[in-house]
Structure 1
Amino acid sequence: MFHPTVARLTYRALLGRRRALLLFALPMLLLIISVAVRALTGADDSTANDILQGFALSAMVPLVGVIAGTGAIGPEIDDGAIVYLLAKPIRRSTIVSTKLIVAIGVVAAFSAIPTLLAGFILNGNGQNVAVAFGVAAAVASVAYAAIFLMLGVLTRHAVIVGLVYALVWESVIGNVVPGARTLSVQQWSLAVAQKLGHGNIVSSDVGLPTAIVLLAVVTVGTTWFAGHKLRTLKLAGEE
């Protein structure tokens, strides 16, 4: 379910000049904020939690997911280049799974690693906060990549829909509305961080078993649906 040529083309598309600048911008902002906060306030577990949850998990990770997830396939569908790939003797499910693996790798590299580094900058991994949030960001990367890849297959406005989801649902509603938190990828990843963190610094409204099940269901479900929609995409000349 992995095709090297598809992977290479996807990496090139995602790490092109314009998209690479966007991918670097958010992690750099997180690290700059972390350095400034550490210089001004010193090491503090609560402050580290606030920044890593309030900016990294609720804003940076989903936005990086939008850029990489939709960019893995959306532009090819928009400009029609996807027909050349679909015309090759490659299973469409293989195309989706390969693009998903690449998108997950890119999202994790540009979100989980910076989150881990920011945690060490902020409090030197006190209460295991840096590792907890780094792993949580990696877990969230998988779900976000799958969700936004599916959006890239479903609509030509995937970036707009993805931004609305990331900024409104995950960053606002998922933090404020109690009932909506159960359906937030951020809260599912926070359940993982809560398990790995020490003390009561990190908390989630969703239990770990529920979070793991929901993460798996969303990832598998969106990936399957993306593959299904791609299989039904008609090429020119097809009946």
Structure 2
Amino acid sequence: MVVRTIVRLTLATLFGSRRGLLLYILPAVFVGLCVLLALTVDDKSGLQVALLQQFGLAVILPLVALVAGTGAIASEIDDGSIVYLLSKPIKRSTIILTKAAVAVGVVLVLGALPVLLAGIVLDPGDLTTAVAFSIGSLVAGIAYVAIFIALSVFSGNAVTIGLIYSLLWESVMGQYVDGAKVLSVQQWSLALISNLTDAPRVESAVKLPIATILLLAVVILGLTLAITKLRSLILSTAE
């Protein structure tokens, strides 16, 4: 019952604001662009991988995860409505983990599945690559959600900081700067994708075992920090 209430409140927060419109607009623009290119471009060799990696995985997915991750809790902290949950005998871990699960569900539906659809549209004959990018996108989305939820609990400027991180670090540094690639969620997910498909030009700067460890570490660390910080928020409120 408690979890159901948190889920309901989180979904209302995510989709009850103007910012929630981005959750529909971003994947719609991405899929629409892929449909347009599929219908108008004659030479489609490499088009599927290029768009899924450089636009879907590097831009659209982090932004969807940013809106979902920060929207799950940041707005409640900003307007003080989080006090409603904090005043109840609910474990702080339950609050964070439930909100993270809702955000991951949103990333699955509005991030990973559009990537799958876009991959199929771009190359109906290569379902393996489309599925691989979809799975990789979901895995990356889980890591992003953990990062953005932790950021939301620690900073009142979570959206701004997260936007800079998504567009600068993941979209630019994570793709083109060798030293930064090792610390990019995008590269970690590409390590998984490259092992799920034989498509050319799908490469990662990180080996899969290391990428798996780093992904797990980021998820565990992000959620742990968020839970710990949320406990201190209730103490501050009580004082």
TM-score class, shorter-chain normalisation, is over 0.9
TM-score calculated relative to the size of structure 2: 0.95
d(CA) in 2 for partners of 1:237 and 1:202? 49
Q: Give the partner amino acid of 2:128.
A: N
Counterpart residue number, 1:115: 115
TM-score calculated relative to the size of structure 1: 0.95
Q: Give the partner amino acid of 1:214.
A: L
Change (3 A) 1:45 1:202: farther
Show CA shifts across 1:11-51 (max 9, x none).
11112252331101110111111111111224735111110
Matched, 1:50 2:45: no
Counterpart residue number, 1:177: 177
Counterpart residue number, 2:70: 70
8 Å contact kept, 1:83–1:235: no
Change (3 A) 1:197 1:127: farther
Matches within 5 A, 1:50-199: 50-126=50-126, 128-199=128-199
8 Å contact kept, 2:86–2:234: no
8 Å contact kept, 1:73–1:153: yes
Matches within 5 A, 1:190-229: 190-229=190-229
Percent identity between the aligned chains? 47
SS in 2 for 1:198: coil
SS in 1 for 2:96: helix
- RMSD over equivalenced CA pairs, Å: 1.6
Show CA shifts across 1:177-202 (max 9, x none).
10110100000111111011124341
SS in 1 for 2:46: helix
Report which stretch shifted further, 109-118 or 228-237: 228-237
Give 1:176 deviation, angstroms. Answer: 1.3
Change (3 A) 1:237 1:161: closer
List runs of 5+ in structure 2 lacking aligned partners. Answer: none
d(CA) in 2 for partners of 1:226 and 1:90? 15
Q: Give the partner amino acid of 1:209.
A: P
Give 1:109 deviation, angstroms. Answer: 1.1
SS in 1 for 2:59: helix
d(CA) in 2 for partners of 1:81 and 1:201? 47
d(CA) in 1 for partners of 2:108 and 2:236? 36
Counterpart residue number, 1:18: 18
Q: Give the partner amino acid of 1:33.
A: L
Change (3 A) 1:43 1:86: farther
Change (3 A) 1:228 1:36: same
